[in-house]
Amino acid sequence: KYHGSEKELKDILMVRLSSLLLKSLDQIGSCRALRICFLADNFLTRIDALMECTRLVKLDLKGNQIVQLPDASCWSHLKELQLLYLHDNNMSTWNNIKGLSGCLNLTALTLYDTPLSLKKSYRHCLVNSIWSLKALDNFVISDEEIIQNWSLPIRFKCHMILQKSF
């Protein structure tokens, strides 16, 4: 529990609270200027308080016990969020994460090592529901993944060019 003033909380730009056995995020919503937030490897199940931190650019929530994410209307307030790390959590259905579609500037997301990541068409469905994504699970998203049943002509495929040069 933080015992400083409300003014001090309001001005914090970065927090690093990883591996501290945290179960809740009591006062983090008061950090209105927060840009970077590391909350990895705790015991968090709910992240609703973070939706008040509307200036976030990077949010690391890997290795927690999160099952359900807030809905799209909550994520839509995080207009500057670009990097979101959610791998090694417990999301198992599309309903658990569908709210992420409201995060309109998200460019990189990790969800590997979750039950959801084992589902068929996981990547395809995810990249087609969050249009701003450029990378998923530390891999760049290709045009082929976005456009269903489309295959790049051979002359545009990188691996073919590499094979010819060796």
Q: Return the pLDDT at 153.
A: 54
Residue 166: pLDDT above 50?
no
Domain ranges of the chain: 6-165
Q: Is the pLDDT of residue 96 over 90?
A: yes
Strands 135-136 and 139-140: antiparallel
Q: Tell me the C-alpha to C-alpha distance, in Å, between residue 138 and each of 21, 56, 81.
A: 26, 20, 17
pLDDT mean over 14-43: 96
Q: What is the mean pLDDT of residues 80-103?
A: 97
Q: Pick one of 3.80.10.10, 3.40.50.150, 1.10.10.410, 3.30.70.260 as the CATH number of 6-165.
A: 3.80.10.10
In this model, does residue 5 exceed pLDDT 90? Answer: no
- Report the pLDDT averaged over residues 37-60: 98
Which carries the bigger pLDDT value, residue 15 or residue 144? 15
pLDDT range class, residue 6, cuts 50, 70, 90: low
Q: Residue 11: how many CB atoms within 10 A of its CB?
A: 11
